[in-house]
Structure formats: C-alpha cells, structure tokens
Structure 1
Amino acid sequence: MKEIPVTIKRSLEILGVFLIGVIIVLGKVIIMPLLMSFFISIMLLPVFRFFRKRKLSETIAILLPILLVIIIAALIVWLFYNQMRFLLHDYQKIEQNLTIHLNALSLWISQVFGFSPADQLNFINQQSNKLFNYAANILSGAAGSATGILIFFGLLPIYTFLLVMYRSIFMKFILMCFEPKEHENIEAVMQQIEKMGKRYLLGLLIQLCYITILLWGILAVFGIKHALLIGIVFAFLNLIPYLGALIGNILGVLITLASSESIVDILFVVGSIAVVQFLDNNILMPRIVGSQVKLNPLISIIGIFIAGVMTGISGMFLALPIMAILKIIFDRTEQFKKWGVLLGDERPAKKPMRFPAIRRR
C-alpha cells in the first residue's frame, strides 16, 4: 500500500487542529465546564478513595468532596464580598483621592505636552460619547454573560459527580479504541496525567493561599489600606499565567490610588507585589509543582492568548494544564512526538541541523 505523502499528513493534522478549535468555540458553553470538571475530579480522586476506604457508599464518597469544594468557594466569595464592601464604604474618601490624583495628572499633562485642562476636558467629553455608544452593546451582552456564568458553575458539580462515578466506563471506552498492545502505554499515560493534574491543581491552591497571606502581611506592615483585598485580587488573577500578574498589578495600583493620597503607597504596593512574585516564581512554586509542567514559555503564552480569545477566562486558566496533558500524550505517541517537542522546553545540546537523522527525515 502506497504511503501518504508527508505534506498531506501535515495538512490533515493542521486541518484537524482547526476543526477541534471550531468545535471548542461553538460548544464552549458545554465543553469548558466539562474540562474544568475533569481537572477538579482528578484533584478529588484521592479524597474520594479515602472515603471509600472508610466503607462509605460511592455516592456519598463523591458528594462529600464536591460539597467541601463548594463550601470553600462560598467562603472565598464571602471574603471577597466583605472586602469590597469595606472599600465602597469609604466612597467619599475614594472620590476625594481620585480627584486629587486626576488633578495632578491633568497638571502633569499640561506641563509636559502643552495640552490645557480645557482641551483635556473636551477630549474626555468626545471619548465619553463614544463610550456611551458602546455601553448599550456591553449591557445587552451582560445578561447573556451572566447566564453563561450560571450555566458554567451550575454544570461543574454535575459534571464532576458523573465523571468520578462513571470513570471506569470512560476508561473502558478509551481502551476499546486502541489495540491491546497499546493498553499498557495508555495506562501509563493516564497515571501520568492524573499525577500531573493533582500536583498542578494542588499547587495552585497552595499558591493562592500563600500569595494572599504574604501580600496581605507585607502591605499591612506598610500600613496600606485594603491590603487583604489587594492580596485576594492579585492571588486569583495570578492563577492566569503571565497575563494575570500584569492585570493584578494594575488593579492593585488602582485600589491604592482610590484609597490613598500618597504616591509612596503605590511604590510600596508595586514593590511588595514584585517581591512576592519573585518568591513565587523562583522559590515556592517550583518546589510545589516541581517538574510536572515543563512547557515552552513562548508556546504557553501563545496558547493562553488563543484559549482566551476562543473561550474566555476559563480557557486562559485551563490552557497550561491542557497543554501539559497534550505534551504527555504526544511524547508517548510516535506519530505526534514532534508536537511534544514543540510544546516542551527541552533544548537540544547540539544544533538540530547537525543531526543527519533529522535532516534525512
């Protein structure tokens, strides 16, 4: 039988990637909570097995970990709500501080760029008219977004329960899709995926706690108002790789601007966030997650942005673990091993063009 040309194989692979992307975009309302539930179920498996060893029924052993997750999530939402309430309680003070900072910014612009306050006001009025034109579109989509969020979080516990309950059926289906000689390799892949998922998600939870506590403690020592709110906001946004830390810095500065008249406080906030990020990136997180997720930083950033465009914030959050799973699968399949090389960060010791086998291939 004549072998399919390499160019056709590559074209089919690219076409397959494109079709998968189309399916994800069209079905993201169903697919994204399913993917999130998959990782949650991986994390809850040890707890489920613990309860099963205590002779609890399978249904109760699944429901208890899910209930625990719901309680923890509710406590986090309650804590965030209370901190926002404290911030809004100082509304008059916030308005005064913002007026002071805006006046200082207006004076600086007029001195540096020669743009008078009257011209600045005209410019703001013009842009405000454009903003109001977009406001209707944003508000009209708010109801749809709220519905999507409710569907997303409503489906999470249902999907998680069913994934854990019927995990053996899904595993049997996967094994039946391959030849018996491949079953040992598939089992090893599944074990590695479970190990990676548990350690990665557990690491994120630990990261969430220590970033909040560290940043809160440091800012409280410097006397920064709403230190806990800044810590919570930055910790959660930091869960979105690369982009989240930048947005967290900006929001931290904005909260400080609204609650303080001193520019020095902003420097304290930026410096504290930088110190916490340094500890997180270079000392704490590598020890917690270890070598479970070794991905090419460039491909990771591109993947995060693509996932964000396709599916929103949930896609950005799940981009790294999904790419890590794909790398595990690609590394163990001869046909797609090259894609595993692309996703990984293992740089060859010599230039690839010096390897005759690669050039001939």
Structure 2
Amino acid sequence: MREMPLTVRRSIELLGLILLGYILVLGKDLIMPVLMAFFISIMLLPVHNFFRRKKLPEALAIIFSILLLVIAVGLIVWFFSSQVSSLIADFPLIRKNVTAHLNSLSNWISEISNFSTQQQAKLLDQQANKLLNLGGNLLSGAAGSVSSTLIFIGLMPIYIYLILFYKNLLLRFVFLWFPEENHQKVREAMLETKVIIKSYLLGLLIQITYVTILLGGILLIIGIKHALLIAVIFAFLNLIPYVGALIGNLIGVLLTLSSSSEVWPIFAVLGTIAFVQFLDNNILMPRIVGSKVKINALAAILGVFLAGTLAGISGMFLSLPIIAILKVTFDRSAIFKHWGVLLGDELPPESPMDSPELRLQTEEIKEELEVKNDIKPTKR
C-alpha cells in the first residue's frame, strides 16, 4: 500500500469511505444493534470479571451481568413511565393552558398584522386537515418502527451474551488480521479503545444521573410543574452531542407552556438548563470522563449528523465513541495518520501555509501540539 502512488492511495481511501457508508445504510438494522451490544459488552466487562472471580461459570457470569443491566434499564423505564403518567393525568389542565396561550398568540398576531382571528382559524383548520392526512400515511410506518425497535431490544441481550462469550476468539481474530510486527501496536490500541469506551459510557450513565438530579431539583425548588419529566427528557437527549441539548430545550419549553398559564416559567426553565449545561460541559463531565482523546467540534457535529443520516437515532448516540475509536486507530497507523489529525483537537498555533514543519506527520510535532492544546498524550 505504501508503494502505491499517493493519488491512488487517496482514491482508494475515499472509495473505501463511500463503500463503508453504503454498507452501513444497507445493513444498519444488523450493524447498529451489534455495535451497541459491543459497547455495552465492554462496559459490562468489570461486572463479568467480578462474577468470574467468584468462581461462577462463564455462562452464568454473563447471564447475571445482563440481568443487572436489564434491572437498571427497567428502573429507568419505570421512572420515566411514572412521570409520563403524571403528565397524562393533567391533560385537562394542559388543554386549558394551551388554549389560553393560543388565544394570546392569536390576539398578538391580530394586533401587529392584518391577519384576523377568523383567517387564523381558517389557516389552522387547513393545516390540521393536512396533518391528519399525513398522520394517516405515517401510521403504517409507525407499526413497522415499533416492531423494529422491539426486535432491536430483543436481540440486544443475545448479542451481548455472544460477544462476551466469544471475546477471546474475537481478540485472536483481530491479532491474526495484522502481521506479527504490529501486534504490540494493535494491543495498545485495543487497550486504549477499551478504556475510552468504558470511561465514555460510564460517564454517560453518571451524567444522566446528576443532570436529572440537578435540573429536576432546581426546577422543583422553583416550582415548575413536571420538573422531573423535563429533567429526564433533557438528560437523555443531552447524550446526543450538540443536537440533543437543543431539542431538550425545546421540549422543556413546550412542557412548561402546556402546564402553566404564565410566561415566566419558560425563562426559569431555559436559565436553569443553561446553568446545568455550563456545569456539565465545563466542570463535571470533563472530570468524570477524563478521556485522553479529544475530538474537535467540527468533526463531532458532522459525525453526529452523518451518523444520524446513515443509521438513525442509534447512530447519533454512538457517533462520538465511534469517532474516538477511529481516531485512536488512525493515530497508530502510518497510512491514515492524516485522518487522525482531521478528527483531533490538536490545533496548530500557526498556519501550515507559513510554517512548513506543520505540514509534516511526525511524532514530535504531534506531541508539541498536544501540549500546546492541553491534551493528554496517548500512551505509546
């Protein structure tokens, strides 16, 4: 590969990226559950190893680990369901508040424009009919989505069990894929990948917990109705980098509007979310996750949208750990190091147009950039 002309190598790389995206689109129903199971399996490894140290057979150790995971997920679903039930119980009040807000909005539009209340009502009726027709067309697709989700959830424990059971076989396959002289680099890359995935996923679980407690607690003290539901929804949507926080803010505003006849709670909710986000992004999450690999914001945002386009919501959730793994792999490859630079956060202090040394792929320059950008260098 190294003896090929540079243009041929770059062409093969781009064609490989296109082929990889095409395979992901065609096989996302199979690939995404396996990827999710792979990440969860790595997170369950300490639990599995604990049961193995207690002299439990391999199969029982895996089953008990999965059972603990199922119990944890069940508790989260129960908590979320209880909050949704509380929201449904307040539906008459919600309908009253929504009507009041719509009337206020209608009067405001009438005051600043020539669009009368009757014209607004006619427009709403037309749009409502369109929405009903659209909803009818989407109902058949909804059943398919529910069934695919159930299949996704049902296959997950099976995939996790098999990945944990055959982990040694899979590791042997990875080593046999590479020549013997590269085995040490492969081992280091896999160990680092395991640390990154474990710290990232465990950090996300801790993040969900403290965001729910902080946000829900402050909103409860302020007196916002359905504070815990807003906190839970925002905490889970916040797992989707950048995009999730925006959607969480929007849902928080809508829930607040529907449960209150006043406007001030909206600013209270937005201010509280902004405060919790500041603590999360700048103080809590960096200390909890402590990842040695930093991804630049441009690569993260593009990765989230690209993964969402190719693989849906599950792709958006898994985008950052996948990018982190790719960066670790690229950094240790002599052929693909430039892709690691593209994904990384080692910002050059000067333009490579003016500094020829910044155009080179040397370990000394990489370490110098990591120090200047306060990035913990990866182990070599």
Report matched runs for 1:1-361 at 5 Å: 3-356=3-356
Change (3 A) 1:294 1:358: closer
Distance 2:113 2:340 in 1: 51
Checking the alignment, whether the CA contact within 8 Å between 1:200 and 1:292 is kept in structure 2 is no
Secondary structure of 1:225's aligned partner: coil
1:84 aligned partner, one-letter code? V
Change (3 A) 1:182 1:144: same
1:210 aligned partner, one-letter code? Y
**Deviation for aligned residue 1:339:** 0.2
Distance 2:61 2:76 in 1: 24
Distance 2:214 2:10 in 1: 48
Distance 2:293 2:124 in 1: 46
Secondary structure of 1:124's aligned partner: helix
1:32 aligned partner, one-letter code? M
Checking the alignment, whether the CA contact within 8 Å between 2:196 and 2:291 is kept in structure 1 is no
What's the CA shift string for 1:136-171, capped at 9, x where partnerless? 221110111011101111111111111111011111
Alignment coverage as a number of residue pairs: 361
**More deviation, 304-313/120-129:** 120-129
Secondary structure of 2:353's aligned partner: helix
Secondary structure of 2:225's aligned partner: coil
Secondary structure of 1:333's aligned partner: coil
Change (3 A) 1:106 1:208: same
Normalized against structure 2, the TM-score is what? Answer: 0.92
Q: What RMSD in Å do the two structures reach over aligned CA positions?
A: 1.6
Secondary structure of 2:170's aligned partner: helix
Checking the alignment, whether the CA contact within 8 Å between 1:220 and 1:227 is kept in structure 2 is yes
Checking the alignment, whether the CA contact within 8 Å between 1:189 and 1:328 is kept in structure 2 is yes
1:323 aligned partner, one-letter code? I
Distance 2:2 2:321 in 1: 38
Distance 1:202 1:292 in 2: 15
- Alignment identity in percent? 56
What's the CA shift string for 1:186-230, capped at 9, x where partnerless? 000000000000000000000000000001110111111111111
Checking the alignment, whether the CA contact within 8 Å between 2:83 and 2:226 is kept in structure 1 is yes
Checking the alignment, whether the CA contact within 8 Å between 2:2 and 2:335 is kept in structure 1 is no
Distance 1:345 1:280 in 2: 20
Checking the alignment, whether the CA contact within 8 Å between 2:219 and 2:269 is kept in structure 1 is yes
**Deviation for aligned residue 1:260:** 0.8
Distance 2:350 2:179 in 1: 37
Distance 1:238 1:104 in 2: 32
2:299 aligned partner, one-letter code? I
Distance 1:360 1:219 in 2: 52
Checking the alignment, whether the CA contact within 8 Å between 1:38 and 1:163 is kept in structure 2 is yes
Change (3 A) 1:359 1:331: closer
1:238 aligned partner, one-letter code? N
Checking the alignment, whether the CA contact within 8 Å between 1:48 and 1:62 is kept in structure 2 is yes
2:325 aligned partner, one-letter code? I
2:51 aligned partner, one-letter code? F
**Deviation for aligned residue 1:356:** 3.4
**Deviation for aligned residue 1:55:** 1.0
**Deviation for aligned residue 1:292:** 3.6
Distance 1:289 1:31 in 2: 26
**Deviation for aligned residue 1:5:** 2.4
Checking the alignment, whether the CA contact within 8 Å between 2:24 and 2:310 is kept in structure 1 is yes
Aligned to 2:374: none
Distance 1:125 1:299 in 2: 43
Change (3 A) 1:149 1:292: farther
1:49 aligned partner, one-letter code? N
Distance 1:321 1:58 in 2: 28
Checking the alignment, whether the CA contact within 8 Å between 1:199 and 1:292 is kept in structure 2 is no
Distance 1:232 1:274 in 2: 15
**Deviation for aligned residue 1:116:** 1.2
Distance 2:291 2:43 in 1: 18
Distance 2:132 2:95 in 1: 22
